[in-house]
Structure 1
Amino acid sequence: MSTTGSLDDHTTTNSVQLDQLDTAKTLPKERPDIEAATPRSLDDDTPDGGLRAWCATLGGALISFCTFGYASSFGVYQDYYVLAGTSTSSNISWIGSLQLMLLFFVGLPAGRLFDAGYLHSLLFIGSILFVFCIFMLSLADPTKYYQILLAQGIGMGVGGGFMLVPALSLQGHYWKKHRSMALGLVVCGSGSGGIVYPIMLNRLISGSDAVGFAWGVRASGFLTLGLLTIAQLIMRTRMPGPKQRSKQEKPSVVAVLMDPPFVLTVFGVFLVYWGLFMPYFYLQLWLNLHGLNPTLAFYTLAILNAGSIPGRVIPNMLADRFGALNAAIPVSLIMGALVFVMFGVTNTPAIIIFSILYGFFSGAYIALVPSVLAVLASRTEELGIRMGLGYFFVSFAMLTGTPIDGALLGQGSVLYWPKPIVFSGVVMIVGTGFTCVGRHFLVRVKGTQWT
């Protein structure tokens, strides 16, 4: 070796040679190429603030506004398609539930690609597909079930799925102490979208300012296009590029699936989501069929989502202090109990109070789930795969929950409301129990009650 020859030129004693060789062993650690082979974890320097962090949160809120906010407004379409004779109530609900399901089902591949550093590619492809399918929906015939299913159920679901889970996962790269708060603000965007889209669609499709189904849907498409463009421009990733990322240890899917706290907690979340969206899909129909004020029916979803906005912020701020699971468990229990209150919601004041309360607690739970999945991750570099896997399984609850409610409800003039109400309430309470068991195992692993 040249190093040995250099040492022989300076000294001939064995002790000096050993000293020089010991020194030489430490030199490669300071070389840039060796440092690049062992990159630092993102946990080492999480900024917890700054312009880029707040831009990531704002961009994530805009994506949540356009994707989850639009999907949670499906009650407007549900009511319109039922009255237009598109299909049965149960069949129509499959469109909205499929959109919700794909929104998170696609989170598994999207989460893995996000962890590999492909944030901007995911946002670009997802935005193009999502907006394109909104405009295709505006051209669809409302009496042709398959056209609506393709555009709204499949196309918008896949497009939104490419964006939503990466937008949630990105917050973990910029926030640590206030991660739950940031995630709450991002999911708060879906609550805002759930206010704007139902009012816009109701008024433009069948309200006093009606321009028809086609132009009402197109107006929502133009709004979505502008907001997603802004999100694209302001969001940046801290993840190393694919070459640097390939030198790091990749998260193991098998290891995640063998983790008892993760499996039990995700199953609990699955059960809660199985019943969560019943009021979002059927409350407007409930009002119309019970002869309540039609104007109030127009704004029911907006009231639900308006109530969800403080619910998506306040509990998440408490979660930063007391733990995400400690906040999510009582919220899901109260939400399950509230579903049974629907038996007495038969007048205008009761509808308004129920909508505000259910909106608050359902919004809180939806916002806390990303924080819960983040708590289950052992390091920042596996946030994408944990959230992707978690939402992948939960997506099946979103797919089947509301169609089961529709089948239990029945069709035509014979609708039996107790069946979907009892089903939704029971599965949410049982899901809370499984979440408690998952928390128990997580406390044993982490050794702290603040989870």
Structure 2
Amino acid sequence: MEKASLTDLEQQDSSTKHTSANEDNEQSHPVDGGTRAWLTLFGAWLSVAATFGYTNAFGVYQDLYTREHDISASRASWIGATQMFVLIATGVPAGKLYDMGYFRRIFVVGAVIYIFSLFMVSLAHPDKYYQVFLSQGIGMGIGGGLIYTPALAIQSQHWRTHRSLAMGVASTGVAVGGIFFPIMLNRLVHGSAGFAWGVRASAFVVMGMLGTAGCIMTSYPRRVAKDSEPAPDAIFKDAPYMVFIIGGIFVNWGIFLPYFYLQLYGIVHGIDPKFAFYMLAIMNGSSIPGRVVPNLLSGKLGPINILASASFGCAILTFALLSVKFSIAGIVIFAVLYGFCAGTLFSMVSPAVAAYCDERQLGARLGLALAMGSVGILTGAPIEGELLGANYTWSRPIFFSAVRSRALTT
């Protein structure tokens, strides 16, 4: 009886420690808002704009490499696809390090790598493929990945009720970066500045954005007892979560076709190049309401239902691209509608993952989901480039993209 009572006391003491740790952890975080929360949200917005937003401007480089430097559409797309793949795949170690409490360190390391690599792009010669591939595809991908996932995950420390909305607002940085950087790069690279100084100017802007973000974002120390951590293998035993990841791979095979090829598509079909330069900006701009409005409705409709609807919309619009009249009005309508649907899909990924997991594994789960999904990004654009061919047979990549964009609806 005495041994039994001692065991009961030990179990109660252990349980009390875990409960106390969890309560202490919750009380150390503001419920929703506050100066630190808003500054962290703005810092995340700047970080996302400078990394993923800049990556969304790759259509400018795709057009430049393909038409002015005689690089095939497929080879050129490997640079952008690799950059986006590495950026997202790096979310696995970045997310784990974030869960371990190293947010500040990984952000600084990522910013240094990202900025250095972007300056190296300005020094690379586009005719020397390996130079551009290493600096833009690999270097910027690694640096951006160490920034992007933790910048989204840290919102869970500052927001509870409005966490989904906060992540959606942070993700609008992708759209704003996708508006600003394509216009800036097109103006400078095709203007008097030229390739080297045009890219260099964008690198200075990125440096200012990431420097500001690093100064204003804050994180709270982890106080949860180690014994209460969820088992790592529980991630792979979660069937709904793994099905969600597999669906994401198929979607990413097709969702980025317009982001890589819309500017080239418009110019090849006779759209004035001066106007075609704004296609990416229009598409990214229209994604802003798509990244905010659905997040307001996700509590009632559910993030997965919204994701499925957005995926279906992207598929239908991609099919419609076959019948778009080759006029400014027709291609603008497509860009606006596609941008809204794609923005909705992108912004709902983080809330959907958060709905599947314990907050203590959010960094790891978000990183794994993004990394697995990036396999589709890595291979999708180059496959579409091969299907397009030197003769620009657009029907083949359009069918490939549209069919796979419907993955979350089936």
Give the TM-score of the pair, scaled to structure 1.
0.85
**1-side partners of 2:280 and 2:212: how far apart?**
26
Q: Does 1:222 pair with 2:204?
A: yes
Give the letter for the 2:106 counterpart: L
Counterpart in 1 of 2:339? 359
Give the letter for the 1:188 counterpart: T
Counterpart in 2 of 1:267? 246
**2-side partners of 1:76 and 1:252: how far apart?**
44
Give the letter for the 1:369 counterpart: V
**2-side partners of 1:101 and 1:250: how far apart?**
29
Q: How does 1:204-219 map to 2 (within 5 A)?
A: 204-207=188-191, 210-219=192-201
**1-side partners of 2:70 and 2:17: how far apart?**
61
Counterpart in 2 of 1:62? 46
Give the letter for the 1:217 counterpart: V
CA distance 1:251–1:111, shift in 2 (3 Å) = farther
Match of 1:190 among 161, 169, 174: 174
CA distance 1:90–1:312, shift in 2 (3 Å) = same
- Which consecutive unaligned segments of at least 5 residues does structure 1 have? 1-17, 434-451
DSSP 3-state at the match of 1:40: helix
Counterpart in 1 of 2:114? 130
Counterpart in 1 of 2:164? 180
Counterpart in 1 of 2:214? 232
Contact 1:251–1:385 (Cα < 8 Å) also in 2: no
Contact 2:307–2:408 (Cα < 8 Å) also in 1: no
**2-side partners of 1:297 and 1:69: how far apart?**
19
Deviations 1:404-432 (A, max 9, x none): 11011112xx1211111011110111332
Contact 1:140–1:148 (Cα < 8 Å) also in 2: yes
Report the structure number with the largest CA radius of gyration. 1
Counterpart in 2 of 1:40? 22
Counterpart in 2 of 1:279? 258
Give the TM-score of the pair, scaled to structure 2.
0.93
**CA offset at residue 171 of structure 1?**
1.2
**CA offset at residue 35 of structure 1?**
4.7
Deviates more, 1:422-431 or 1:113-122: 422-431
Counterpart in 2 of 1:402? 381
Contact 1:39–1:248 (Cα < 8 Å) also in 2: no
Contact 1:268–1:432 (Cα < 8 Å) also in 2: no
Counterpart in 2 of 1:347? 327
Counterpart in 1 of 2:401? 424
**2-side partners of 1:50 and 1:308: how far apart?**
27
Contact 1:201–1:216 (Cα < 8 Å) also in 2: yes
Percent identity over the alignment is 42
Deviates more, 1:181-190 or 1:52-61: 52-61
Counterpart in 2 of 1:150? 134
Contact 1:303–1:352 (Cα < 8 Å) also in 2: yes
**CA offset at residue 251 of structure 1?**
3.8
Q: How does 1:56-95 map to 2 (within 5 A)?
A: 56-95=40-79
Structural RMSD (CA): 2.1
Counterpart in 1 of 2:275? 296
Give the letter for the 1:237 counterpart: S
Contact 1:37–1:247 (Cα < 8 Å) also in 2: no
CA distance 1:327–1:239, shift in 2 (3 Å) = farther
- Which consecutive unaligned segments of at least 5 residues does structure 2 have? none
